Amino acid sequence: MLGRPRRLAILAEGSFNATDAKSAVGVLRYRAEEVVAVIDSARAGRTAQSCAGVGGDVPVVGNLEAAAAFDPDSLLIGIAPQGGSLPSSWRGVVAEALMRGWDVLAGLHTFLADDPELAALAEAKGCRILDVRRPPEGRPIAARRAAGVDALVALTVGSDCNVGKMTAALEIHAFLEKRGVKTAFVATGQTGIFIADRGVAIDAVPADFAAGVVEGLVLEAARDADIVLIEGQGALHHPAYSGVTLALLHGSCPDALILCHQVGRTHLKISDAMPAPRIRSISELVRDYERASGWLHPARVLGVALNTMHLEETEARRALEHEANLTGLTVTDPVRYGAEPLAVALLRRHEERKRRAASA
């Protein structure tokens, strides 16, 4: 089970489509039963499905008052503004939600609870502001402790940001749960935390403690799971986020990696003002991720999750086959075709480790 049940209204004002409202889409894909309405005045009257391709009949409404008719208990900020701050136009919406006694869930770099007015309002109304990006208080220093757990630790890694690392981990998690495997999903970014209702936004942790925080999450998750799936972040080849990626890799000491890539993406997404680096081939990425893991704890890429959302059926099939032939690895699109091949690869690896441990 991921978290406790909630009744969410999602703010996605002006941006409720498949690509711009990342958090809204993620929550709708994995927790649709908890979403009572999406707020986007530009799309009011439609269904979530028709706007973003997920969420079925969840209604899109024009404002907070209209959302109130569906009796939510929380407002979730489902879009990420440029720069991480709260646009002033949204501030009134947050205040209105608090006035109604709803909790507010936000993943901004600017913490809503640090706003004295909003904090006072929350206190007066007895509701909570959950800034999921706020780093934990502790200052843990990683020391390769995660390498010692009995569970199989698997991390999703990628060719770039926003290629499907969270989605791959969640799809594998869901498949394993259905199979009755004791499995844990470790959320490391705001959307993952919205979905799992726990986790830490690693990118907001002071750099010295990022690996230590991940290590702590893995140790905790491994206590009650046979397979621990960690949501990856960034990419080793990304100019801005490679440090976050390596902290995750070295903090979690995975045995298994699932490499994620969006078919058709040729260059890393960086500032438009700068020439973007080319994305390497899958084989080169496999090599580099395995090398960087090996600096501390050996990991193997056990499968490739290709995001084929922009391709037609035939092209998608061809892309998977092409990469499978090139790399010799298990390749699938876990959203389109299911996560079974990736989950099975992890299960096999887990059995192998258990056998080896038993015979040692």
The footprint of a second copy (CB under 8 A) covers 83-84, 109, 135, 139, 141-145, 202-208, 210-212, 236-248, 250-251, 253, 270-271, 273-275, 277, 288, 291-292, 295-296
Nearest to a second copy of 139, 179 (CB atom): 139
- Cα separation values, 339 from 177, 179, 216, 252, 351, Å: 12, 12, 27, 22, 18
CB of 240 to a second copy, least distance (A): 4
* Closest CB to a second copy among residues 83, 126: 83
For 218-285, the DSSP string reads HHHHHTT-SEEEE---S-TT-TTTHHHHHHHHHHH--SEEEEEEETT--B----TTSPPPBPPPHHHH
Nearest distance from C-beta of residue 87 to a second copy, angstroms: 15
Is-contact 233 187, C-beta < 8 A? Answer: no
At 4, is the secondary structure helix, strand, or coil?
coil
What span, in angstroms and rounded, lies between the C-alpha atoms of 86 and 99? Answer: 18
- Asked whether the beta carbons of 194 and 76 are under 8 A apart, the reply is yes
Smallest distance, Å, CB 287 to a second copy? 10
Least distance (Å) between residue 296 CB and a second copy: 6
Cβ distance to a second copy smaller for residue 60 or 247: 247
3-state secondary structure of 341: helix
Give 126 or 206: the residue with its C-beta nearer to a second copy: 206
Give me the DSSP letters along 152-190.
EEEEEEESSSSSSHHHHHHHHHHHHHHTT--EEEE--SH
Tell me how far, at minimum, the Cβ of 147 lies from a second copy, in Å: 9
In whole angstroms, the minimum distance from the beta carbon of 274 to a second copy comes to: 4
Residue 140 or 164: the one with the smaller Cβ distance to a second copy is 140
Nearer to a second copy (CB atom), residue 75 or residue 204: 204
CB 200 within 8 A of CB 217: yes
The one-letter amino acid code at 41 reads: S
User: CB of 273: closest distance to a second copy in angstroms?
Assistant: 7
Amino acid at 282: I
Q: How far is the CB of 234 from a second copy (least distance, A)?
A: 8
| Placement of tokens 């608090």 in the chain | 98
Amino acid (one-letter) located at 330? T
- CB of 218 vs a second copy, minimal distance in Å: 12
Q: How far apart are CA 203 and CA 156, in angstroms?
A: 16
Nearer to a second copy, 8 or 142 (CB): 142
**Complex with a second copy: residue 9 or 211, whichever CB lies closer:** 211
Measured in degrees and rounded to the nearest 5, phi and psi for residue 162 equal 55, 45
253: left (phi over 0), alpha (psi -120 to 50) or beta: left
Neighbour tally for 84: CB within 10 Å: 13
Nearer to a second copy, 255 or 333 (CB): 255
Q: Which is nearer to a second copy, 180 or 206 (CB)?
A: 206
Least spacing, CB of residue 21 vs a second copy, in Å? 20
Distance CA 133, CA 200 (A): 7
Q: 3-class SS at 39?
A: strand
